[in-house]
Structure 1
Amino acid sequence: MADFDTVVAAHNILKKHNSTFALLHCVSAYPTFPEDVNLSVIQLYKKRFPDIPIGYSGHEEGIVIAIAAVAYGAKIIEKHFTLDKNMKGTDHQCSLNPQEMKELVNGIRTVEAAIGVPTKNFLPSEVACNTKLGKTIVSSRDIEEGSLISMSDIAIKVSRPPGLQPKYLSSILDCKATQKIPKDGPISKENVDMNCSVCPNE
């Protein structure tokens, strides 16, 4: 029930008296419809108030949106709890029963594990799939020993044993084949003279 300027003012007042507090995005509608939730506000708060934890206080039905809030960066989740959704009062309909609360916590833990860090690496868990399906540089036709490798000599396919990864394609162009490479044979440091280029480490 506040606009952004009001939230900023509240933050500034609290900061003068206590540095240990959190700010939770909340929509005061019971229940809150998904189109009114606006989880993007969490990211706005994280950018504007990097000095405090940002969370989400949800009044929508179910657990999906609260779990999504964690993916958006919420560090605290507040949901109403009830033993009977049919009890008198506006809060009970949008509250969670014990089973839903358990599912919420489990869902949040799964999302937390999945968030990770903003780096992209080849993972140990991908080794098996890469061994089976990883692409490699192979010859598109028979290449005679001493021939210079050209683009027309190259194809990208699954190959066992593997050759060089496709990212090294430019490193082998115009390099000399040190032995005959049959069609669909892997192209590697073992059968191409890499002295004409920067030899890859992999």
Structure 2
Amino acid sequence: MKIAHREIGPQHPPLVIAEIGINHGGSLDVAKGMVSAAHSAGCEMVKHQTHFVDDEMTDEAKQIFPPNADVSIWEVMERCALSKDDEIALKKHAESLGMIYISTPFSRAAADFLNDIGVAGYKIGSGECNHLPLIRHIAGFGKPIIMSTGMQTVETMRPSVQALDEAGVEYALLECTNLYPSPPEIVSLQGINELRAAFPLAVIGFSDHSIGPSMALASVALGACILERHFTDTRYRKGPDISCSMDPAELKFLIDRSREIHTALHNPKQRTGPEEDVYRFARGSMVADKDLPAGHVVGATDIWARRPGSGEISVQHFDRLVGARLTRAVKRNQQLLWSDLDGVTPLANA
């Protein structure tokens, strides 16, 4: 898939998304500072959350208290939501730095607003990943979609994925666990493989709410093409998502290490050119283990392999030498040549 100018898939370095989310606490200045910090760490894409509370919730939400907050979910979002003008300014700031700006709409009105301001793509959160009317509405804009799949199974995801397929949009599915933070006991790295097997048209990624970069990096080794983590410019801020947020140093670490893992992931099992110098001293060459006369029939106790590996016959040919007749006398520890052995066909070393 492609969002703006960024190609995303197994052949490309993992896309690391810094989710600012609501960590700015409703301050445009703080939000801009977080975007700048993410850019300085080498991040290509930032993600926001677009909350129009009146279109997103009913009054019952004022009685629901999230496990990571001490006020109702209504009050959390009301405090942290940016105004339309502020979000436009935040998007402009990110794009002025060359970054890609996307956001998660939590309502139909938010989705329409994001389309109006020209976002390059959409993120659908785990809470909305079974909201078929909203998914169809967002997919109708024809833009690429990244969808988290937390709190879902492969089977419960099928209708949502079918809606994306029917809309003909490019999409990614992110394995996700929705506890903030998520302990390893409930994080599912297996989910990456399960999503790939079940939905072959999807780009697969990992939305991480654990503490530290370990789970996200492990997901790259399993083929995750997108890594999304909450981000803050400093962990000294207060907010419901700060505990599972990375700071600029960890963001840079995640970007750099994930690219290294991606590079190694695509290397086949083989001896490489840079290893040749090591090969010459680390491998064993076949030698006589005692003084042996010409015409001697070689037994298993007559030969051995010792470093360096610069000899003509590698240790891998040990068994082939047993039973051969020597064409000349050899001394103990003398490297053997193919021409020393009658009745053995020379073979190249591997």
Please tell me the TM-score bracket, short chain as reference. Answer: 0.7 to 0.9
Alignment correspondent of 1:142:
291
Alignment correspondent of 2:176:
26
Give the conservation status (yes or no) of the 8 Å contact 2:284–2:309. no
Alignment correspondent of 1:3:
153
Alignment correspondent of 2:200:
50
1:93 Cα offset (Å): 1.7
1:19 Cα offset (Å): 5.0
Q: Deviations over 1:121-163 (max 9, x none)?
A: 1222222222222112211111211222221212122147524
Give the conservation status (yes or no) of the 8 Å contact 1:39–1:69. yes
Which residue type is aligned with residue 322 of structure 2?
L
Alignment correspondent of 1:85:
235
What's the secondary structure of 1:34's corresponding residue? coil
What's the secondary structure of 1:55's corresponding residue? strand
The correspondence of residues 1-202 of structure 1 with structure 2, limited to 5 A, is 1-117=151-267, 119-159=268-308, 161-193=310-342, 196-202=343-349
Count of residues in correspondence between the two structures:
199
CA distance in 1 between partners of 2:189 and 2:258 (Å): 15
1:42 Cα offset (Å): 1.1
1:108 Cα offset (Å): 1.0
| Structure-2 change in CA distance of 1:201 and 1:133 (3 Å) | closer
1:76 Cα offset (Å): 0.7
TM-score using structure 1 length: 0.88
Which residue type is aligned with residue 153 of structure 1?
D
Q: Deviations over 1:39-74 (max 9, x none)?
A: 122122223333321100001122222111111110
| Structure 2 runs not aligned, ≥5 long | 1-150
- More moved, 40-49 vs 23-32: 40-49
Give the conservation status (yes or no) of the 8 Å contact 2:320–2:344. yes
Give the conservation status (yes or no) of the 8 Å contact 1:144–1:179. yes
TM-score using structure 2 length: 0.53
Which residue type is aligned with residue 134 of structure 1?
R
CA distance in 2 between partners of 1:50 and 1:166 (Å): 45
Q: Over aligned residue pairs, what C-alpha RMSD do you find?
A: 2.0
What's the secondary structure of 2:185's corresponding residue? helix
| Structure 1 runs not aligned, ≥5 long | none
